[in-house]
Amino acid sequence: MSLNVAVIVKLEPDFSEGNISYNADGTLNRAETKSKLGAHSSVACLAAFYAKVNYGANISVATMGPPMSEIALSEAQSICDADSLHLYTDRIFASADTLATAEVLKKGIQKMKENENENNNGIDIIFSGHRASDGETGQTGPQTAWKLGYPFFGNVIDYHLNLKDRVVTLKRLVVLNGMDNIIEEIESPLPVFIALDPSYKPSFTTLSSRLKATIFEKNAEKKVANFKSYLKMFDHNSLELDPKEVGLSGSPTIVYKVERIPKGKMNRKAEIIDGRDRNQIKNIAEKILILNGQYGRS
Amino acid sequence: MEDFDVIIIGGGSAGLAALKHISALGKQAILIESGKEIGSKNVSGGILYSKNKEYGQVHNVEDIYGQKFLEEEPYERRITKYILNATSKDKVCSIDLTSIHDFQSNFGCSVLLNKLNTWFAKEAQEEAQKQGGGIVTGVHVKNIKWNNENTPIELDGGKQNSSTYDNSLIVETDELEEFRSRAIIAADGVNSEIASLLRAREKFSPDQLYQGVKVVIKLPEEIIEKRFEIGPDEGAAHLFSGDISLNQVGGGFLYTNRDSISIGGVYHLSSLLENPVEPDQLVNSLINNPLVKDLIQDEVPIKNIEKNLSKEEQTKKSFTISKLIRTWNELREIYYSPKNREKTIANGKFKSIEEIKDKINTTRRRLVEEFNTKFVTNYVELEYSAKVVPDGKRCMMNKPYYKNVLFVGDAAGRGIFLGPRIEGLNVGMDDAVRAAKTIIKYIKNNLTDPNIGEIYSQSIHESPYTRDMKKIDKDYLKVLLKAVKKIPLEDLGAKNNFLIRCMSNDFLRNFAVSTINKVGFYKFLSFVESPKIYIDIPILLAEKLGRKINTSTKFDIPELSERISKLKYYEDNNSHIIVTKPQIEFMKKMTVLCPTKCYSIEDQNVVIQHEGCIECGTCSKETSWKHPRGEKGIFFKYG
Amino acid sequence: MIENKKLSDLEDGNNSNSYHHMLVIIEVVDGVVLPVNYEMLGEARRLMDFFNKQYNSNEKVIAVVLGQNIKDLCNELINYGADVVVYADDPNLRYMVNQTSTKVISSIAMDKDIISKISPDFVNHYKKPRYMFFAADSIGRHLSATVLAELDSGLASDVNKLEISDLEIKHQHKTKGNALKYGKVLEMYRPDFSGFLWTTILCLDNKNPEIRRDFHPQACSIIPGAFAPLEPDPKRKGQLIEFTPKFDKKDLKIKVLNRSIDKDKIDFDSFKIVISFGKGIKEFPEDNIKLIETLSKLTGAEIGISLPLSKKIFKLDEKINSKYMIPGRVIGTSGRKITPKIYIAIGISGAIQHIEGMKEAEFVIAINTDENAPIINECDIFIKGKMEDVLPVLIEEIKRIISPLEVQAKRK
Ligand SMILES: Cc1cc2nc3c(=O)[nH]c(=O)nc-3n(C[C@H](O)[C@H](O)[C@H](O)COP(=O)(O)OP(=O)(O)OC[C@H]3O[C@@H](n4cnc5c(N)ncnc54)[C@H](O)[C@@H]3O)c2cc1C
Ligand SMILES: Cc1cc2nc3c(=O)[nH]c(=O)nc-3n(C[C@H](O)[C@H](O)[C@H](O)COP(=O)(O)OP(=O)(O)OC[C@H]3O[C@@H](n4cnc5c(N)ncnc54)[C@H](O)[C@@H]3O)c2cc1C
Ligand code: SF4
């Protein structure tokens, strides 16, 4: 009763202060800005790690991106003690939108089934992060899931498996505008696609499982030292992808233009007003109501 | 319920040594630490000693971790220069006490506990895993009870007839399901909840504690060596007393690390309660000392962003400057460190040292010319921290156990304060080995021997460190006085002079010391650790004999709020501390003495804002005090 | 029908009459239509009114609702701007489960019966909707992705501005480098991750013969609060169409076992204005809180606090304490990070930990007695004065403006 899981990750620029750099014209200086495994991707790895420790899962991590994306794979391996790393890299994959990316990931994950897990059910669970921080919008996951025919569950904060019946129970955090937050508990047969909420944390509940986790952590360390031996590269040929379906050709959407948001946030420079000046307070009252759409037009 | 033989609570240097040793002796043990990572909750000064005691054997760091400790150097610098500075305003009288430092020592090295304990943990973990044990972090033990009792123990420490109980313990944590253990080593530090929970001892009272407050300061490696006139394999330690103590009993310290400086003070809590001074002010008074200023100053860039840019441009500019400053800092770290230089040149990043230097200069120039950055003389703080330290001679547990729970290190109140020197790390590690050995015997007896505690206690009493906590070592005093002898004491006034003269006489000293030890060392503490010794004499020394230090350097010392905002917390909505006596004097004083100002008085009641708590333990005595839940609370990056 | 075509349609490609209407996917949670859906309907109405006028056509805003016992909600959607409401009412749709919802919505989108009921003219060539709107929330974001994967088209997410226009496009892939005209293109604006830039996304058919492929519908998910809903008009007429969904047995094995509501969380995100108070209320806490309550009622604001207040430091009525002095209202690193349009900080000094929670607010007003309080560096207007003096005047002035307006509204 083996369990096979896949994790989809992404290499992202590190946008934190002290790491990010801009060119003189205000655009992102990609050369100077370091890249790393995206924060949300590492959450997905944690979920896979939980499956490894608790259910003995075999883990494959996959990413689509330029060759340097292998950094993301090795970082992912160090988190989840992955057994194999898959890099989908091909010039023609570049600049893909989510639909075209999902196409590549779909083929890649189908290949995982064929290659590694000949005599079992294929991939049982696919994990992905909530979204990437550099503009990707959290659609790649659900679209990949759909193309593969896996039910998709987003914002997952906890999950448990019943391996005997091959059923997953999971909790999702549903945040809706104008409503209280909802925690929804769902049961679904495997296979499934799970996108983790950023707040996900593996819920090891026994001391022995925590101990076990430390052993896998150690293993991961050893593997990462030699991560290239776990790495497999694929291009559109080896994934048997039609070039028309991927990259720019397979992307329905294009970025038509980029412009400054007109009323871009200005630096705050406080206008100081004397609280005893009724006229001034009146102006502020107006300002509040205008901004709030209760009066005039903004 | 899961069953284990031995659980160690607390992953400080004491707990880790216990784990390492039990595992090395071939048995399974599991260490539980509440911090998110090992090392994130531990604070020291600190100098870790390896001792060579005359009155018995101690277990030193290199005995526990082997030669690897010396090879991999998880410490900062070996201390080769040990100086006491008496201060008064701009005058400093420096006395070389290196002989004191070397007294019965193999070596002493400066350490930063996050790094050190992380290394210990790596070693201990590896050993433990071989035996099926290991380290589990982020788990907070909240209760221990014995299997045959439903309620927590409510008995006096260890007085129960031990043959009648079922010795298996049930451990409750905030994070995991309950589990059973047959013995526990409590290495949970000076604010031990386990000790209070079991009533194995009273909470330490202010009289038994010192409050230690520290700041880690950044300074490049070779600049340190130049300033302190030490070689690459050497380190300096400075102690301070006199006016820097703002009239408190205690003193200041400054230790050189590899590429940083630890600076801080350790003050008697009773003294602080009597005349409350803000802990950060005590650190500031040291930083403002002219000698210290000259030692720690550095070139510091100041970001300057035009206010009339749009927020977007400001942010981008600010980020770009941050990145440049970071590059500049990193390059300096390479340039001023022989090891880093070598590595960087070897991996081809730079061709030569000159090239690194060039890059530093161009980065600096860019910062100045393109981004209007100013470089000023100042210093850079990395981390502010605090923790109370138990004074073993006043508070060590006479019987450091309760049933089959053994207390080690700070949890057992074991630390040596000998004049200017603190020893807690080495003592805790020695305790740990003794506990480990006891446990091994216990396991061999099928985990049933009801005398486990007594056996451990005996071993502890054989420890030379225990002796140090009870008695003045006359040889130590001799060395101390010899060091002080070079000072022309005539100038100090007849009375003090007379005392020192008497003590310098071998016969008189030995007589005095043995009398004191007979009557009880602790009875003389109020005399030895008095304002006179700690404040008046040093000030006198400085004024009469000190050299004047002129410095024009003005430091921009960060406000407390700035220091706190730089700390890393994993916040918890639930407070781990509850104020139970909101109107007593002690609590009112906490509004001053809490190092992060967590307390304020509102409507005549003292209230706590626990979010800023750095878990020092100063307020523990009169509050319901627990460590935060697993992973929560302060996270020290240096410690 | 060919005769009716306008020029831009002809250049729009062969399949231009295969795509019609605007589908707006409505989310019903526990019997309630989410506010964002009304905003989407408002924007859809505006765009399609423009569209129909511009292109002299008659395409509809179709609201799609799934759920159980939802029929009663349909008229409301018409009042808010929908022409047609297609609803699927089934116990299996009680909760929005992505798998089942995706299939039902996709079937509705491609259902010719429905089109024949709405616009029989289109039915022959009809393939898919022209445009589609989803909400950019925990349900809609994922739903939009899976539905569009099923419909095999593109999607922009987190959109906050929309236009329809005819564009000339020259694109290496889409048009093989030639300048070609695209008609009725939905320009979808989304703020990029930095918050400073707007990226416009288009979903375009590949007209390049080598990679020819149609990409419709043009779809997006819409940020809550970005658009204004219309005033509901109970007199608006529209068409209700019931759709009977079919389910895969396999999908019905996905079960919602339990749902619990997390009540502690204050829903700051739904409010344009947040008014916070701090220790500065100390002299007359009870009276000051009353003033702040009045102000918040007048402006429809949610109320926040600074951290110390959550420690219940003032002796107050237990009702007030349990309503306001709670961790859920704290703004800052230990509490919430919020991004309202207006933030009013009353008697708050502006400690760095507090600033972290509100610095992304668009417009910040502080009321404080102390000009040296750090909040002055993080606000747009600093009213120097005691809140006890300032608030009553501010409230009075606001009332003075609002009441004649209300009178005006009544007269209309
Ligand atoms: C300013 C200062 C200067 C010092 N200078 C020196 C010096 O120069 N030389 C020297 O030798 N010593 C010095 N000391 C003393 C020395 O630092 C301590 O004695 C030593 O760090 C104590 O180690 P420990 O392992 O006993 O406790 P700690 O390091 O406090 O470790 C206890 C651990 O237990 C964990 N814990 C607590 N409760 C629980 C629970 N319920 N569940 C799970 N985990 C728990 C804590 O998170 C912590 O990690 C100094 C101390 C200070 C503060
Ligand atoms: C780790 C940590 C996390 C923290 N997280 C948060 C957090 O998430 N959120 C948060 O808010 N704080 C947080 N704090 C606390 C923060 O540092 C400040 O202590 C707190 O924000 C101060 O609250 P305040 O502004 O209400 O009070 P004060 O600083 O006392 O300010 C009161 C202000 O009111 C003004 N005032 C007085 N009387 C009047 C009057 N009659 N009319 C008008 N103004 C008046 C005063 O001039 C003053 O500026 C945190 C602290 C720490 C250490
Ligand atoms: S509140 Fe925390 S930081 Fe303050 S004194 Fe108490 S333990 Fe120390």
List chain A domain ranges: 4-245, 270-298
pLDDT (mean) for B433-451: 92
The pLDDT assigned to C236 comes to 93
**Is the minimum distance from the CB of B265 to ligand 3 under 6 angstroms?**
no
B323 pLDDT higher than 50: yes
Please write the tens of the pLDDT for every residue from B567-604. Answer: 999 999 899 999 999 999 999 999 999 999 999 999 89
Mean pLDDT lowest for which of B146-155, B428-437, C190-199? B146-155
**CA–CA separation, C113 and A45 (whole Å):** 46
**CA–CA separation, C144 and C162 (whole Å):** 17
Residue nearest to atom 41 of ligand 2 (CA): C386
Q: Identify all chain C residues contacting A278, using CB atoms and an 8 Å cutoff.
A: 393, 397
**In the structure, what pLDDT confidence band is assigned to residue B164 with cuts at 50, 70 and 90?**
very low
Q: Identify all chain C residues contacting A271, using CB atoms and an 8 Å cutoff.
A: 380-382
pLDDT > 70 fraction of chain B, expressed in percent and rounded: 94
| CB of C392 less than 8 A from some CB of B | no
* Domain covering C10-252, topology: Rossmann fold (3.40.50)
Do domains C10-252 and C268-409 share one topology? The answer is yes
| Tokens encoding A175 | 């945040």
CA-based torsion, C30, C34, C38, C41: positive or negative: negative
Cα B411 to ligand 1 centre (Å): 8
- For residues A291 and A263, the answer to whether their CB atoms sit within 8 Å is no
The pLDDT assigned to A120 comes to 56
Which residues numbered 387-406 in C keep a CB inside 8 Å of some CB on A? 389-390, 393-394, 397-398, 400-402, 405
The pLDDT assigned to C194 comes to 64
**In the structure, what pLDDT confidence band is assigned to residue B158 with cuts at 50, 70 and 90?**
very low
**CA–CA separation, A165 and C222 (whole Å):** 39
Are B136 and A211 within 8 A, CB to CB? yes
Query: What string of DSSP letters covers C228-272?
Result: PPPPP-TT---EEEE------TTGGG-EEEEEEEETTS--GGG-S
**In the structure, what pLDDT confidence band is assigned to residue B160 with cuts at 50, 70 and 90?**
very low
Residue with tokens 């959407």: A253
The pLDDT assigned to A64 comes to 95
Mutual angle of helices A207-224 and A70-80, in 10-degree steps? 150
C389 pLDDT higher than 90: yes
Are C334 and B611 within 8 A, CB to CB? yes
The pLDDT assigned to C235 comes to 94
Give the list of residues 6+ apart from residue C321 with CB closer than 8 angstroms, or none.
C312
CA-angle at B358, arms to B357 and B364, nearest 5°: 90
Mutual angle of helices B113-130 and A207-224, in 10-degree steps? 100
Tell which CATH classification among 1.20.1640.10, 3.40.50.620, 3.30.360.10, 3.20.20.70 matches the domain A4-245: 3.40.50.620
The pLDDT assigned to A262 comes to 65
The pLDDT assigned to B47 comes to 96
pLDDT mean across residues, chain B: 91
Number of Cα atoms under 13 Å in the Cβ half of residue C279: 14
B523 pLDDT higher than 80: no
- For residues A261 and C189, the answer to whether their CB atoms sit within 8 Å is no
| Cβ-based burial of B580 (10 A; exposed 0-12, middle 13-18, buried ≥19) | exposed
C202 pLDDT higher than 90: yes
C142 pLDDT higher than 70: yes
- For residues C26 and C64, the answer to whether their CB atoms sit within 8 Å is yes
Cα C39 to ligand 3 centre (Å): 50
Higher local confidence (pLDDT), C14 or C109: C109
Cα C278 to ligand 3 centre (Å): 23
Ramachandran angles phi, psi of C377, nearest 5° = -80, -5
CA-based torsion, B159, B164, B166, B167: positive or negative: positive
From residue B197, alpha-carbon distances to B206, B394, B624 in Å are 20, 21, 11
Q: Residue B203: count other Cβ atoms within 10 Å of its Cβ.
A: 18
Alpha helices (H) in B397-505, listed in sequence order = 425-444, 452-462, 464-470, 474-485, 494-504
Closest CA to B259 of B112, B80, B70: B112
Q: What is the CATH number of domain B572-634?
A: 3.30.70.20
For residue A191, say if its preceding peptide bond is cis, omega within 30 degrees of 0.
yes
The pLDDT assigned to A150 comes to 97
Q: What is the CATH number of domain B77-106+206-297+379-388+530-559?
A: 3.30.9.90
The pLDDT assigned to B159 comes to 46
Gap from A33 CA to chain C (nearest CA, Å): 15
C138 pLDDT higher than 80: yes
Are B310 and A265 within 8 A, CB to CB? yes
pLDDT (mean) for C291-308: 94
Taking CB atoms and a 6 Å cutoff, what residues make up the pocket around ligand 2?
B 564, 569, 611-612; C 278-280, 283, 306-308, 330-335, 347-349, 351, 353-354, 357, 367-370, 373, 386-388
Q: Indicate the domain borders of chain C.
A: 10-252, 268-409
Looking at this protein, which amino acid is placed at residue B631?
A: E
Query: Which chains reach chain C with 3 or more Cβ–Cβ distances below 8 angstroms?
Result: A, B
Contacts from B143-148 at CB under 8 Å and sequence distance 24+?
B143/B171, B143/B172, B143/B197, B144/B169, B144/B170, B144/B171, B144/B172, B144/B184, B144/B194, B144/B197, B144/B198, B144/B405, B145/B169, B145/B170, B145/B172, B146/B170, B146/B403, B147/B180
Gap from A245 CA to chain B (nearest CA, Å): 37
Taking CB atoms and a 6 Å cutoff, what residues make up the pocket around ligand 1?
B 9-15, 32-35, 41-48, 140-141, 187-189, 193, 212, 214, 264, 266, 387, 389, 409-411, 415, 422-426, 428, 627
Are A177 and C394 within 8 A, CB to CB? no
B19 pLDDT higher than 50: yes
Q: What is the CA radius of gyration of chain C?
A: 25
Please write the tens of the pLDDT for every residue from B214-231. Answer: 999 999 999 999 999 999
Are C311 and B608 within 8 A, CB to CB? yes
pTM of the model: 0.91
Higher local confidence (pLDDT), A255 or B280: B280
Are A256 and C202 within 8 A, CB to CB? yes
Give the list of residues 6+ apart from residue B562 with CB closer than 8 angstroms, or none.
none
Alpha helices (H) in B347-462, listed in sequence order = 353-371, 392-395, 425-444, 452-462
Please write the tens of the pLDDT for every residue from C96-128. Answer: 999 999 999 999 999 999 999 999 989 889 999
Looking at this protein, which amino acid is placed at residue C354?
A: H
Give the list of residues 6+ apart from residue B505 with CB closer than 8 angstroms, or none.
none
- For residues C25 and C146, the answer to whether their CB atoms sit within 8 Å is no
- For residues B400 and B460, the answer to whether their CB atoms sit within 8 Å is yes
Digitized pLDDT (tens) for each residue of chain A, 298 residues in all: 689 999 999 999 887 777 887 777 667 777 778 899 999 999 999 999 999 999 999 999 999 999 999 999 999 999 999 999 999 999 999 888 999 999 999 999 998 866 554 445 689 999 999 887 666 678 899 999 999 999 999 999 999 999 999 999 999 999 888 788 899 999 999 999 999 999 999 999 999 999 999 999 999 999 999 999 999 999 999 999 999 999 999 999 998 988 876 655 556 778 999 999 999 999 999 999 888 877 764 3
Residue nearest to atom 4 of ligand 3 (CA): B594
Higher local confidence (pLDDT), C386 or A2: C386
Contacts from C294-297 at CB under 8 Å and sequence distance 24+?
C294/C395, C295/C344, C295/C391, C295/C394, C295/C395, C295/C398
Domain B2-76+111-201+397-470 sits in CATH 3.50.50.60: yes
**CA–CA separation, A160 and A173 (whole Å):** 16
**Is the minimum distance from the CB of B211 to ligand 3 under 6 angstroms?**
no
Question: How many helices and strands, by DSSP H and E, does chain B display?
Answer: 25, 28
Exposure string for B406-434, b = 16+ CB within 10 A, e = fewer: bbbbbbbbbbbbbbbbbbbbbbbbbbbbb
**In the structure, what pLDDT confidence band is assigned to residue C132 with cuts at 50, 70 and 90?**
very high
Q: Identify all chain C residues contacting A184, using CB atoms and an 8 Å cutoff.
A: 95, 256, 258-259
Are C313 and B573 within 8 A, CB to CB? no
Are A137 and C150 within 8 A, CB to CB? no
Residue with tokens 């102000």: C295
Which of A152, A257, A278 is opposite residue C98, by nearest beta carbon? A152
CA-based torsion, B627, B631, B633, B637: positive or negative: positive
Tell which CATH classification among 3.30.70.1520, 3.40.30.10, 3.40.50.1220, 3.50.50.60 matches the domain C268-409: 3.40.50.1220
| CB of C353 less than 8 A from some CB of B | yes
Give the list of residues 6+ apart from residue B635 with CB closer than 8 angstroms, or none.
B35, B36, B37, B40, B41, B567, B568, B569, B570
- For residues B169 and B147, the answer to whether their CB atoms sit within 8 Å is yes
Mean pLDDT lowest for which of B54-63, B491-500, C60-69, C326-335? B491-500
- For residues C337 and C356, the answer to whether their CB atoms sit within 8 Å is yes
Mutual angle of helices A39-55 and A70-80, in 10-degree steps? 40
pLDDT mean across residues, chain C: 90
Which residues numbered 208-267 in A keep a CB inside 8 Å of some CB on B? 208, 210-211, 214-215, 218, 264-267
Q: Indicate the domain borders of chain B.
A: 2-76+111-201+397-470, 77-106+206-297+379-388+530-559, 303-376, 474-521, 572-634
Are A207 and B2 within 8 A, CB to CB? yes
Gap from B209 CA to chain C (nearest CA, Å): 29
**In the structure, what pLDDT confidence band is assigned to residue B519 with cuts at 50, 70 and 90?**
confident
The pLDDT assigned to B508 comes to 75
Beta bridge partners of C67: C89
Please write the tens of the pLDDT for every residue from C54-68. Answer: 999 999 999 999 999
**CA–CA separation, B78 and B67 (whole Å):** 15
Closest CA to B44 of B190, B160, B174: B190
